[in-house]
Structure 1
Amino acid sequence: MWQLYADYMKSFRENMAEFLDAGVIVDIEVGLGPAGEMRYPSYPQSQGWVFPGIGEFICYDKYLGADFKAAATEAGHPEWELPDDAGEYNDTPEKTPFFSDNGTYQTEKGKFFLTWYSNKLIKHGDKILDEANKVFLGCRVNLAIKISGIHWWYRVPNHAAELTAGYYNLDDRDGYRTIAHMLTRHYASMNFTCAEMRDNEQSSEAKSAPEELVQQVLSAGWREGLNVACENALNRYDATAYNTILRNARPQGINKNGAPEHKLYGFTYLRVSDELLEAQNYATFKTFVRRMHANLDYNPNVDPVEPLKRSKPEIPIQEILEVAQPRLEPFPFDENTDLPV
């Protein structure tokens, strides 16, 4: 399949050469899954999924089944099979033996499966970014990928919806830092979503925690030295949403030069609409944009990116996959960024 990605990217480079050479295109987000996100299609609405269902593992075709069997056999457990107790799209975690308290996900077999499942996703992203590096070598662009903001069931120990999507993230295991570490091989940025969401706006039944999730993912990227970007998930035009984005954009912490130690590399606002352009909404939005730029004027003479240099990553992917990162406290985020509205 990676050849299809490579051919598509080559065609893009050829047809967009004028804009690439002129520096009009400065970022290329490489689509790696549903909605362009690096994840499995574990919660497709076309299959009847309804929020906040845990979704389903996507690995039951004959090819992945054979791959898992070979991996289990090599690990000394030829008797292990793919999970048959992980429920269906709209189940809640406690209804499944796999995700229940002391469930399969905590057993040796469960941990082996989840490691294999998440590693297949990371290897997929790594391979496609390898091809992107070759295709866009020398272009003045920044490669990026998008991570899905799966915030439902974040407050339960099993993190079921994240696991079915391929993010092996638990209370004591950082599934996002492993992804971020993979991106360091490719000079790639990490883009995350739901930057405008607050915990108290979510259904308590879904055990959602978008604020904690955003802070965990952004912190994982910064710890790996990545450029980290964000976007909002919903159409929001209110000061509460903008203030949440501002808080996430510039966590507390000043480096030795007096500049913010960590800040967003970029932010994508979704989306331009007639409602946004209404008088008060537009006035609030303009204030938000000024605050995002720290009330400083935009300097068009600053080149945002260097030419893409790397064609062959230096860190073996296996070294990244073999190290499970422990969960760390996220960087402190600024609570004093309210819009003056």
Structure 2
Amino acid sequence: MCPLNAALLPRDTLARLLDKLVGVEGIMLDVWWSLCEPTPGSFDFSRYRPIFQMAIERNLKIQAVLSFHTCGESEGDQVVISLPPFIRQLQPQYPFLFYTDEDGEWSWECLSLSADHAKVFPSAQGVCRRTALDMYEDFMRAFYEEFSSWIGTHIVQIQVSMGPSGELRYPSFALSRWKFPGMGAFQCYDERMQQDYRDYIAAITTRNHHHGTDSFHRREKEEEVVVFPCYQTCGRGYNMLPWQTPFFGEGIAETERGKTFLEWYSSKLLCHGEDMLERARRVFHSQVEIACKVAGIHWLYKTKHRAAEAIAGYYVSDRFHFYQRLASLLKKYGATWIFTCFEKRDEWEDKAAKCSPESLIRETWSIAASLDVPFAAENALEMKRDEEYEQVLEKADWCRRNGHPLSCFTLLRLSEELISPDHVDRWATFVQHMQQSPPI
């Protein structure tokens, strides 16, 4: 991965960093929305063409991340890059454009799902008829037109940003509000999301009535459950643990209404993912690999409801399994699944956090393998120790020995520290070992 601010660095600085890459196949680079569409419908990729050219001259392939999110709210973010100003200026008029938590606080990490079909965004002509999905597609098409001669040859993968940090998830654990291992906070309190949920419940009630059953309606009355999980925490919910909340701790999540809410919440996220993949395929056809990044939310994995995952949109239960549904979606569009936290080991994690990154990796890899969905990996945080590099090697070898090798591993992140005398031998040895791994 290139520096987050690669497009803002002096070219000689970036060239010097690229010259230090030996044995790797290519680079991953964030193409930031706000740097390329400063005004509505007007695209400028002039910051990126020289970088791509430098990579090509060094025989490096390119993974381009079309970054429709902000930079600055994730661990390791050393720069701040916001959404285009013309987007943020609309928030006072249309507050539903950004995710909203229980306390009415907005997330600025990315646009909400509520913006996907809202025709409120200006076009180049100044007419406010574009939806968020229209804007994403316009950006993809402009990128395609700018770099069509390189797409599929030098630019070998397009990762489509689908949420915070480019990941398909809700912004439930932004660093400005959250500390590990808090479960995070639901992001569905804007007016449109609430109305969508009411419509969802009404449809279920109508369907049950039509089929001669009113069990859902009866349980709803007996349980007296509020429409949304409501902790009334004044911002403390991000850092609470599930057993400290009524929704998870008092059994509401196990009721019919609780399960239905979580299924709706995750289904909305999957719908967004499908909309983005459909637009990407429409623009890029089959000329290049399309990828979707999924967060490795490994904390609270060893708890009953896996609340940190559920709140991010990754609900797993006996009747709804987010990862299985995601794999089917990726299979449908021929997309690659990118997963993180490959450097982590269970025994290194805080016992109180009830983590299991190893179990989560095995679970997601197995689901991808069962459908023959390409599975790529990254480390979640910059690796400082030999043991972390060894963990990646072990996991990559395990995937290979079990018949579904990683399609790619992308190392986070190219920096002065990575190429320093104290570190360069460590990662160079890692690259060499990855290359020498025996075939299946």
Secondary structure of 2:229's counterpart equals coil
C-alpha distance in structure 1 between counterparts of 2:305 and 2:432, whole Å: 40
What does residue 179 of structure 2 align with? 50
8 Å CA contact 1:189, 1:226 repeated in 2? yes
What does residue 301 of structure 1 align with? none
What does residue 266 of structure 2 align with? 118
Secondary structure of 1:293's counterpart equals helix
Residue among 189, 196, 204 paired with 2:343: 196
Residue among 148, 151, 154 paired with 2:295: 148
Residue among 18, 26, 31 paired with 2:156: 26
C-alpha distance in structure 1 between counterparts of 2:341 and 2:375, whole Å: 14
8 Å CA contact 2:376, 2:409 repeated in 1? yes
- Superposed, which structure 2 residues align to 1:1-341 within 5 Å? 1-20=132-151, 23-46=153-176, 48-76=177-205, 77=217, 81-85=227-231, 88-100=237-249, 103-139=251-287, 141-170=288-317, 174-251=321-398, 261-279=403-421, 281-295=423-437
Tell which deviates more after alignment, 102-111 or 157-166: 102-111
State the Cα distance separating 1:251 from its structure 2 match. Answer: 2.1
Amino acid paired to 1:291: H
- Computing the radius of gyration over CA atoms, which structure comes out larger, 1 or 2? 2
Amino acid paired to 2:403: E
Call closer, same or farther: CA 1:99–1:58 in 2, change over 3 Å: same
Secondary structure of 1:230's counterpart equals strand
How many residues were matched structurally? 289
C-alpha distance in structure 1 between counterparts of 2:270 and 2:412, whole Å: 27
8 Å CA contact 1:198, 1:211 repeated in 2? yes
Call closer, same or farther: CA 1:58–1:237 in 2, change over 3 Å: same
C-alpha distance in structure 1 between counterparts of 2:386 and 2:292, whole Å: 28
State the Cα distance separating 1:215 from its structure 2 match. Answer: 1.6
8 Å CA contact 2:397, 2:437 repeated in 1? no
Amino acid paired to 2:229: P
C-alpha distance in structure 2 between counterparts of 1:183 and 1:68, whole Å: 25
- Give the gaps of 5 or more residues in structure 2: 1-131, 206-216
State the Cα distance separating 1:122 from its structure 2 match. Answer: 0.3
State the Cα distance separating 1:45 from its structure 2 match. Answer: 2.1
Secondary structure of 1:200's counterpart equals helix
8 Å CA contact 2:141, 2:283 repeated in 1? yes
Residues 224-279 of structure 1: CA deviation (Å, up to 9, x unaligned): 2111000001111432111111122132676xxxxx61110000001122332234
Amino acid paired to 1:94: W
8 Å CA contact 2:399, 2:406 repeated in 1? no
C-alpha distance in structure 1 between counterparts of 2:391 and 2:355, whole Å: 16
Structure (1 or 2) with the greater strand fraction: 2
Taking only the aligned residue pairs, the percentage that are identical comes to 37
- Give the gaps of 5 or more residues in structure 1: 255-259, 298-333, 335-341
Call closer, same or farther: CA 1:74–1:174 in 2, change over 3 Å: closer
Amino acid paired to 1:146: K
- What TM-score comes out, normalization by structure 2 length? 0.62
C-alpha distance in structure 2 between counterparts of 1:153 and 1:296, whole Å: 35
8 Å CA contact 1:93, 1:160 repeated in 2? yes
State the Cα distance separating 1:290 from its structure 2 match. Answer: 2.1
Secondary structure of 1:195's counterpart equals coil
8 Å CA contact 2:161, 2:168 repeated in 1? yes
C-alpha distance in structure 2 between counterparts of 1:253 and 1:191, whole Å: 16
- Please report the RMSD computed on the Cα atoms of aligned residues, expressed in angstroms: 2.3
- What TM-score comes out, normalization by structure 1 length? 0.79
Amino acid paired to 1:274: E
C-alpha distance in structure 1 between counterparts of 2:319 and 2:348, whole Å: 26
C-alpha distance in structure 2 between counterparts of 1:86 and 1:73, whole Å: 26
Call closer, same or farther: CA 1:295–1:280 in 2, change over 3 Å: farther
Amino acid paired to 2:423: N
